[in-house]
Amino acid sequence: MTNKEHTLIYDKNGKQICCSLEEKIDRKSPPPLMHSTEGHSHSHSHSHDNEGNWKVYFPAIISFVLLISGIALDYFDIVFFQGWVRVVWYAVAYIPVGFPVLKEAFEALKKGEVFTEFFLMGIATIGAFAIGEYPEGVAVMLFYAVGELFQSAAVRRAKDNIKALLDVRPKIANVLRNKSFLEVNPNDVKVDETIQIKVGEKVPLDGTLLSAQASLNTAALTGESKPQSILKGENVLAGSINLDGVIEVKTTKLFKDSSVSRILELVQNATSKKAKTELLIRRLAKVYTPIVVYLAIAVCFVPYFFVDDYVFRDWLYRALIFLVISCPCALVISIPLGYFGGLGTASKNGILFKGATYMDKLKEVNTMVMDKTGTVTKGVFKIRDIEVFGNYSKEEFMTYLLSIESKSTHPIAKAIMEYPVTGSIPEATEIKEIAGKGLQGIVNGSKLVAGNKKLMTQFNISTPKEIDGIVESIVLIGIDDQFAGYVTIADEMKEDAKETIAAFRQEGIDLIMMLSGDKDSITQQVAKELGISNAKGGLLPEDKLNEVELLKQDTSKTIAFMGDGINDAPVLAASDVGIAMGAMGSDVAIETADVIIQTDQPSKVVTGIKIAKSTQRIIWQNIFLAFGIKIIVLILGAGGLATMWEAVFADVGVALLAILNAVRLQKMKWN
């Protein structure tokens, strides 16, 4: 994405609320703990455009060379390297890395923000110069600058997982106008226009396939590496890559409403809500920083009243060490980086959190409530069983049924028509639809009826008792007033549904409940297959909401709801964590939910829980690491047992360790 391109985000009233993801991320990450966002931007804003260029490291290289040269000249006691020459040498070494920090400290002071890390670093290093510790003053600022460069690299790596989604937005669309295809901006394509996608090109807008078939790479959208085969009339998602042959698609949505644009919008907003842990650290930092400054002042002056051989220079040195150690760089860097890494890792795995708050909340879930159709089942009718009575073969039986059902548009008829037969299907005549019961007609000279038990009763066709215990949708067939057999139609279970339920229990989710608008008998059967003991069917949207509200009366329960339909939106909003199936889910459900599963795989929810738990664990590891080491070195510094070099490690060294720990999250395997 170029700097000139923008993704415009609007609120419900049509007001623009955000610009590009790249700009938004740069404003938001890493969020400061001790000062304003502007105050922390020096290591990002000035180098962002050139962060991939060696020039961004040039100031640090100059300072490093001059510092090492100065230390060598000191060591060999070179005659000319004394007095003002030595001071100027180290001052020149200090300026490339120190000036940006001092500038930020000054800008923050103008805004009334005194206690920033820039202020602490400035006072500590200038103080080191004031007492003649020139090499240490330069070294502290140099290592701080190097730490900032590492921070930028780590944040950039974490951002790449999310920013990669920008690359799936096509830049042009070939639209059919005036009997020829023209290249236009995707924003200019209207609904119901025909677009052409060549091999290797990205689909610019959502639509339905007009060509006979297509092979698409949807990895950027779903995380699935296996190409998807799409048939004529099926949905095609924007951002998919066409792998085989030229295809044509009829658009069903505008570019701004397409799947990829919606996904990008969710990602753009993902870092805007701060998790509770991060907010807590920010509040603590506002208290922590002034306390540290006052303690440093106390370390410098209070011993005057208690120590007989008080030397101001020695105690000032200890106070300066105290200030350097106290800089909370590790927290400033690692906590937001931890959350950002978690969000990026989740998006890479097809899971979009609308905010870090929901990542924290998901790991606390102990009650999982779910819809059935489209959530644990595919929401598509398939033939489950075929039972033939009499002297008909299965092939002959299905030929009769396909003949009469070919004239129907009912979803069950469409499912039956997918059954493969080797021979030709005879033409049915005199077809008549009997409302609420089924169809009748003539096939190969035989009278045929296909429908429910009421239809069989109407034509005095007796049926076996075994059909009374079947809960799935069933089509009964009579040929020449004799019962010929039946076909059961059922929603197909998702491949990973059963293992998902078992994994939920392993993750500590005690209560699993299924709420469905489908028939209770079907709901109970699906629940039984999945090992769910608590299930209710035949529910209206308000009934589902009431069930969840009853569960919420127990404050010990943290409730997540998984759904995909418009009727699930109220429950998604009411639950602690709303999880929507994003690939086939309704727009309303996706807008309402807190977590979006792009692949429609329920097992991804388990992956999301694991990522959330790992993210939280790494963040707390960094917090304890930072505070633990700093407290130890602070005590040593106050007692005169630590030098500026130990202070540098306690500041920059711990920050780098925290960064490496946070980046580790992106290397973990989740499948």
Single out the residue of 102, 100, 104 nearest to residue 129, CA to CA.
Answer: 102
Quick one: pLDDT band at residue 671, thresholds 50, 70, 90? low
pLDDT score recorded for residue 514: 95
Band of residue 588 on the pLDDT scale cut at 50, 70, 90: low
- What is the three-class DSSP state of 455? helix
- 612 phi and psi angles, rounded to 5 deg: -60, -45
pLDDT at 566: 66
CA–CA distance, 350 with 587 (Å, rounded to integer):
17
In this predicted structure, the answer to whether residue 226 has a pLDDT above a threshold of 60 is: no
Strand 595-597: give its sheet, edge to edge.
351-353, 595-597, 577-581, 559-563, 367-370, 511-515, 534-536
CA distance 664 to 671: 16
CB atoms within 10 A of CB 359: 28
Give the position of tokens 């963040």. Answer: 619
User: Across the strands, what pairs with 395?
Assistant: none
- With a cut of 70, say whether residue 281 has pLDDT above it: no
Q: What residue spans of 511-653 are helical by DSSP H?
A: 520-530, 541-552, 569-574, 587-592, 603-638, 644-648
The better pLDDT of the pair 307, 569 is held by 307
Q: Mean pLDDT, the chain, as a whole number? A: 79
587 catalytically annotated? no
The per-residue pLDDT for range 608-642, each reduced to its tens digit, is 999 999 998 988 888 888 888 878 887 887 777 87
Taking the CA atoms of 230, 235, 241 and 245 in sequence, report the sign of the dihedral they define: positive
Q: What is the pLDDT of residues 49-59, one digit of tens each?
A: 444 457 788 99
Domains of the chain: 23-164+270-344+615-667 (no CATH), 190-253 (2.70.150.10), 351-376+494-598 (3.40.50.1000), 379-493 (3.40.1110.10)
Which residue in the list 206, 360, 371, 594 is annotated as catalytic? Answer: 371
CB 518, CB 372: distance < 8 Å: yes
**Lookup: tokens for 587:** 């727009």
Question: Dihedrals φ, ψ of 390, to 5°?
Answer: 85, -155
